[in-house]
Amino acid sequence: MSIAKNFHTNNTIKKIEGPIFIGRTWAEYIKMFDLKRKDLFNDRILDCAAGASSFTAEMSKRGYEVIALDILYGEDPDILCAKYREHMKVLIGGLASVDSFVWNFFSDIEDLKEKRDDACREFIEDYRKNRETHYIKADLNFLPFPDNSFSMILCSHLLFIYDHRLDYKFHLNIIKEMIRVSSNEVRIYPLVKNRKLKSDFVKCIINDILDVDIQIVKVDYEFRKGGNEMMRIIKS
């Protein structure tokens, strides 16, 4: 029986209260943000709303300078791991009922679950060892850094995708805050919400944030259908 069927035995899909704590793999980040690894050696990178992603752990191992930030950090690793397991179960249950995904990077639901579990394992291992130096608990509305602190800021799967839960003011504040602490560039992925629809907030952000160059760039990654674009915000 597939994992998805197991989670549908009573025909209910639980709702997640509060932030969803899961994480993508390092390999997904490279594709989602079209990162050129050799250029990144000169960067100081901040992964905003990093969750249980393995990006910081894997990049640090390879000698890059990366800090991960999330509102749920600061908790004990076992508590974060339990939260990941609970949220992943609910999300996998939801996936089975929606035909909105491209099965290309992942071969099937089992493969997706395996890769997400690997990412979380890598994250927890690094979080246990390097919590003080690599992982910062903070709210993105108030980043605890001076202006121009990081040359590359990434934000995956928090903005645009939840525009039914997180209002426009939240989006605008956070994007302005990321621009403030960036000396060079901010990248945001994805721009779609569901059923191939791009969030209306994308246009609003382009209209409302001036004095920066905002580009919509195609990337070589698409899991949510239509989710093959990122926003690049370049400070002049």
The residues that touch ligand SAM, with contacts defined as CB under 6 A, are 19-24, 49-51, 53, 70-72, 139-141, 156-158
Q: Closer CB to ligand SAM, residue 140 or residue 186?
A: 140
Q: How far is CA 151 from CA 35, 45, 95, in A?
A: 13, 6, 35
Residues 6+ away with beta carbon under 8 Å from 32: 24, 156, 189, 190, 219, 221, 230
Q: Closer CB to ligand SAM, residue 21 or residue 64?
A: 21
Do 22 and 88 meet the contact criterion of CB atoms below 8 Å apart?
A: yes
CA distance 100 to 178: 30
Nearest approach, Cβ of residue 119 and ligand SAM (Å)? 7
Sign (positive or negative) of CA dihedral 45, 51, 53, 58: positive
Q: Closer CB to ligand SAM, residue 4 or residue 72?
A: 72
CA distance 236 to 224: 32
Nearest approach, Cβ of residue 107 and ligand SAM (Å)? 19
Nearest approach, Cβ of residue 23 and ligand SAM (Å)? 4
Q: Closer CB to ligand SAM, residue 30 or residue 213?
A: 30
DSSP character for 78?
H
Nearest approach, Cβ of residue 9 and ligand SAM (Å)? 25
Q: What share of the chain is helix, strand, coil (3-state, %, to 5)?
A: 40, 20, 40
Q: Closer CB to ligand SAM, residue 18 or residue 207?
A: 18
Q: Which residue is nearest to ligand SAM (CB)?
A: 51
Nearest approach, Cβ of residue 39 and ligand SAM (Å)? 21
